[in-house]
Chain A
Amino acid sequence: KQEVTQIPAALSVPEGENLVLNCSFTDSAIYNLQWFRQDPGKGLTSLLLIQSSQREQTSGRLNASLDKSSGRSTLYIAASQPGDSATYLCAVHDTDKLIFGTGTRLQVFP
């Protein structure tokens, strides 16, 4: 049974820091891995999708990497801003459904 874990559960940093959020999964047989952002009480915004054949994806200040053999993905956020404050969720695509971690709650203070 696929399990997804995210650490840390919460993170509070000053503006301008570079951040690394971690995601691990137990079964390497995945189609892809997707990172989402969720603001309190809101839906999910897709940030990056990494296909199983890819190693990383980049969008602006965000970079996500995938290492299937070790069951790990990282989301790197460069030069963090207060507007980045949110919960970040990773999810592995298991056949026709997504299996989510419990998220990392990020607070960036000025």
Chain B
Amino acid sequence: DAGVTQSPTHLIKTRGQQVTLRCSPKSGHDTVSWYQQALGQGPQFIFQYYEEEERQRGNFPDRFSGHQFPNYSSELNVNALLLGDSALYLCASSSLGQGGEKLFFGSGTQLSVL
């Protein structure tokens, strides 16, 4: 049983470019959440997708957008990259509606913006 998988593992971009990160949830999970973790900080919630819609969003600008596909996999898109977007981006999956369900995280995508 595969856990949460993310791709790519590392990415280097320049300011102003756009990037797409991908996530496949753990088998049996229908909800995907994205987090940004800056160096030395705890992860910060970006948004959550369920039934192909954004259910909840953290304090991130509209440059951050996402999508969920019918097979529950998800993409995170970041436009007009800034140096401050350099971080580890983590995807987490869970099963909605089970109140307090444990979240499972992928290994992350390390994004460097030059």
Q: Is chain B a partner of chain A in the same complex? A: yes
Interface residue ranges, A against B (CB under 8 Å) = 4, 31-32, 34, 36, 41-46, 49, 51-52, 89, 91, 93, 95-103
Interface check B25, CB cutoff 8 A = no
Whole-angstrom distance between the Cβ of A3 and the nearest chain B Cβ: 11
Q: Are A52 and B100 in contact (CB under 8 A)?
A: yes
Residues 52-94 of chain B, each 1 if its beta carbon lies under 8 Å from chain A, else 0: 0001101000000000000000000000000000001010100
Interface residue ranges, B against A (CB under 8 Å) = 4, 6, 33, 35, 40-45, 48, 55-56, 58, 88, 90, 92, 96, 99-100, 102-108, 110
Q: Assuming A34-B102, A52-B100, A96-B56, is B48 touching A102 (CB within 8 A)?
A: no
- Residues of A with C-beta under 8 A to B92: 44, 98
Extra contacts besides A51-B100, A98-B35, A101-B42 (7): CB < 8 Å: A43-B6, A46-B104, A49-B102, A96-B33, A96-B48, A97-B48, A102-B41
Whole-angstrom distance between the Cβ of A24 and the nearest chain B Cβ: 14
Whole-angstrom distance between the Cβ of A106 and the nearest chain B Cβ: 15
Distance between Cα atoms of A101 and B58 in the complex (Å): 16
- Residues of A with C-beta under 8 A to B103: 34, 46, 98
Query: B56 — nearest CB in chain A belongs to which residue?
Result: A96
